[in-house]
Amino acid sequence: MNNIQDLQHRMLQAGYICDQRVATVLFLAEAMGKPVLVEGPAGVGKTAIAQAFSRVKGLPLIRLQCYEGLDEAKALYEWNYKRQLLHIQAASRHNLSVQEIEKDVFSDDFLLARPLLRSVVADSPTVLLIDEIDKVDFEFEAMLLELLSEFQVTIPEIGTVKARHRPLVFLTSNATRELSEALKRRCLYLYLDFPSREMEQRILMLKIPSLPEKLAEKVAQVVRRMRALELKKPPSIAESIDWAESLVWLGREDLDVDTALETLSTVIKYREDQEKLERIIYRRRDLEFRA
């Protein structure tokens, strides 16, 4: 068994099914020390790759969840201003010089490390997940470039802090906006789409061991047809798993029209989408979703 096949097997043991293409990117990212940019629609398992890889390697996962307006203070570091102020007040009573006070308050003791800096100063290797990077602005992207290329961060008051152990970095993007070329250039690129019916069936059976094979096949087939429709939110893999699990709890061995209508809210999360599917299913009395 070669290294890539071994990695596929170990990822499977960690609860993630990946094909040879995905396993090759993961292998090369570790071998070359490069971050991985995982892009694709929401709900295809991008975050789960980093989580499974951290389990495979036995490394702690440090996660930065991105959102609009995220800044350095929440992502990289900030100073403990209240503690600094108390120290300045105490130091002034001992007639310390301004230079001595500044040297004290701008030290590691007063620094609050956020996820990015924690991954750099960690005493052992880590997996760093920067989730949904497409939600931040270009200025934040620019701030990341030093970390992604040199695995270091610069703190003006202290200087450059180099990584004690180079983290394994994953960035995920739902492709809601185009990322900068500078960021992409620093990463290996992996695009994930919704899985094939056969792959989704395997995922369902892995996540729900008690799920009958025929029911797993039917759920994967119907979900795939749902995604082919123009829905506001196509079902994610997680919602596919929820649907299959709900059928097991209800003791169903088949997914017929009545069962689909009763449990539709498990997999479809917008009322407009539910109404559209209900009309299609009622009108045709089947789960083919064909004109």
Domain of residue 47, residue span: 3-68+114-191
When pLDDT is cut at 50, 70 and 90, the band that residue 242 belongs to is very high
Does residue 142 sit within a domain? yes
Give the C-alpha separation, 155 to 112, whole Å: 12
**Backbone φ, ψ for residue 94 (5° rounding):** -105, 15
Q: What is the pLDDT of residues 41-66, one digit of tens each?
A: 998 999 999 999 999 999 999 999 99
Q: Reduced to 3 states, what is the DSSP secondary structure of residue 210?
A: coil
Which of 251, 226, 189, 242 is CA-nearest to residue 22? 189
Q: What is the pLDDT of residue 290?
A: 54
Q: What is the pLDDT of residue 80?
A: 77
Q: What is the pLDDT of residues 199-240, one digit of tens each?
A: 999 999 999 999 999 999 999 999 999 999 989 999 999 999
Does residue 290 sit within a domain? no
Instruction: Give yes or no: residues 93 and 40 share one domain.
Output: no
pTM, two decimals, is 0.87
Instruction: Give yes or no: residues 208 and 275 share one domain.
Output: yes
Instruction: Give yes or no: residues 184 and 133 share one domain.
Output: yes
Q: Which of 165, 191, 217 is the last residue of a domain?
A: 191
Structure tokens at 280: 């299609």
Give the C-alpha separation, 283 to 275, whole Å: 12
Residue 209 CB contacts under 8 Å (≥ 6 apart), including other chains: none
Give the C-alpha separation, 219 to 211, whole Å: 11
Length of the chain: 291
Q: For position 22, which CATH number holds?
A: 3.40.50.300
Instruction: Give yes or no: residues 165 and 253 share one domain.
Output: no
Secondary-structure percent of the chain, ordered helix, strand, coil, rounded to 5 = 55, 15, 35
Does residue 291 sit within a domain? no
> Per-residue pLDDT for 94 more than 80?
no
When pLDDT is cut at 50, 70 and 90, the band that residue 288 belongs to is confident
For residues 169-176, average pLDDT = 95
Number of domains in the chain: 3
Instruction: Give yes or no: residues 106 and 211 share one domain.
Output: no
State the amino acid at position 162 in one-letter form: K
Q: Which of 160, 191, 222 is the last residue of a domain?
A: 191
Q: What is the pLDDT of residues 12-33, one digit of tens each?
A: 999 999 999 999 999 999 999 9
Q: What is the pLDDT of residue 49?
A: 96
Instruction: Give yes or no: residues 24 and 151 share one domain.
Output: yes
Instruction: Give yes or no: residues 260 and 162 share one domain.
Output: no
Give the C-alpha separation, 46 to 134, whole Å: 13
